Amino acid sequence: MLVTMARKTGSDDPLAPVTLAVGQEDLLLDRAVREVVTAARAADADTDVRDLTPDRLQPGTLAELTSPSLFAERKVVVVRDAQDLSADTVKDVKAYLGSPAEEITLVLLHAGGAKGKGLLDAARKAGAREVACPKMTKPADRLAFVRAEFRTTGRSATPEACQVLVDAIGSDLRELASAVTQLVADVEGTIDEAVVGRYYTGRAEASSFTVADRAVEGRAAEALEALRWSLSTGVAPVLITSALAQGVRAIGKLSSARGGRPADLARELGMPPWKIDRVRQQMRGWTPDGVAVALRAVAEADAGVKGGGDDPEYALEKAVVTIARAARSRGRA
């Protein structure tokens, strides 16, 4: 089963005469094409697939590809970067949209935006099946993508596991999808944070966010251990200062917020509900002065790792210790 994390409009039938995939996320665009091709080959194993870029789709080419065949063969014609088609070719495509051929599925991949908007509008007006494939620039979008990947496989993963996977892999959707596939294949039962840590950071403590978690919890020794392991496995120091900053700011934001249900606070503070619960546990013992001290320590460390100091590792260690002390942990260090 294919996951596009995309809103579909018009017919949901992948064998609709025209499919319009709109966006700039390569993985989702490729999945939109694969879904159509898979459906076509399920209907006819001998389906002919033509995958074309604008330079290969000259005026008249589409008419040749979609002309009636003596053998009435099924065909899928994929046009990539449709926003870059020449004006004459756009006329051909618009004409085809008005009278699509039987047994042929046209797939238009369009980046969206102003360029080539006339073709985009014409395809929508013609009733094309549309698959949105937006670039996922926000961490929350990538987190939602990972959750959907697990749901599609019918497997369960904890919210913390999904977050750790995004933190460990980064913004590449192909790598995230591949990681989910590997975890599902190798691990039985619910996939949790510890499992993801073993696979993708060598151990759970290696994540930059785990360094931050242990520091704001006041667990200085564990935070330092996690920091050294993270650095030894190639985690960029700037990512660690970023995680420390997020951890301390979350403490500050939640401590100054009105009380309420996690869902309400999540909306107010822009955090997922599960994180509200985690930060509530972490903030025990923190004071406003402690938050201020910790934020100054993060700022100094950030300057140190960005060239303001001679030893980035020492700058990070100093920040971690200062934050852990500021946490004023009660029996957890």
Report which of residues 11 and 211 the model is more confident about: 211
What's the confidence (pLDDT) of residue 2? 39
pLDDT tens profile 227-242: 888 887 777 788 889 8
Helix (H/G/I), strand (E/B), else coil: 79: strand
- Residue 331's pLDDT band, with cuts at 50, 70 and 90, is very low
User: Range of 163's domain?
Assistant: 137-198
Least confident of 11-25, 64-78, 293-307: 64-78
- 255-287 residue pLDDT tens: 876 566 666 666 666 666 667 777 888 888 788
What string of H, E and C letters represents the secondary structure of 169-199?
HCCCHHHHHHHHHHHHHHCCCCECHHHHHHH
DSSP collapsed to 3 states, 274-308: HHHHHHHHHCCCCCHHHHHHHHHHHHHHHHHHHHH
Q: Check which CATH number belongs to the domain holding 49 and give it.
A: 3.40.50.300
Would residue 36 count as lying in a domain? Answer: yes
Q: For 19-32, what is the mean pLDDT? A: 93
**Per-residue pLDDT reduced to its tens digit, 105-150:** 999 999 998 999 999 999 999 999 999 999 888 888 889 999 999 9
Q: Is residue 188 part of a domain?
A: yes
Structural domain includes residue 4: no
Identify whether residues 238 and 310 lie together within a single domain.
yes
pLDDT exceeds cutoff 70 at 205: no
Per-residue pLDDT, averaged over 244-265, amounts to 77
Query: Quick check: 329 pLDDT over 70?
Result: no
Q: Which two tokens stand for residue 263?
A: 């869902």
Residue 303 maps to a domain: yes
* Inside any domain, residue 123: yes
Residue 184 sits in a domain whose CATH number is 1.10.8
Question: Which amino acid is it at 107?
Answer: V
**According to the model, what pLDDT value does residue 1 have?**
36
Within this chain, do residues 194 and 256 fall inside the same structural domain, yes or no? no
What integer pLDDT is reported at residue 242 of this predicted model?
Answer: 85
Among candidate residues 90, 112, 131, the one where a domain is terminated: 131
For residues 232 and 274, membership in a common domain is answered with yes
> What residues are paired with 20 via a beta bridge?
108, 130
Residue 3: the pLDDT is 40
What is the total count of domains within the chain?
Answer: 3
- Percent of the chain scored above 70 by pLDDT? 86
What distance in Å separates the CA atoms of residue 316 and residue 239, rounded to the nearest whole number?
Answer: 11
Exposure string of 118-146, with b = 16+ CB inside 10 Å and e = fewer, is ebbebbbebebbbbbbeebeeeebbbebb
Domain membership flag for residue 268: yes
Count of other CB atoms within 10 angstroms of residue 87: 8
Tell me, yes or no, whether 159 and 220 share the same domain.
no
The Cβ-side half-sphere exposure at 179, using a 13 Å CA radius, reads: 28
6: in domain: no
Tell me the DSSP string of 102-170: TTEEEEEEE--SSTTHHHHHHHHHTT-EEEEE----SHHHHHHHHHHHHHHHT--B-HHHHHHHHHHH-
Does 121 lie in the same domain as 49? yes
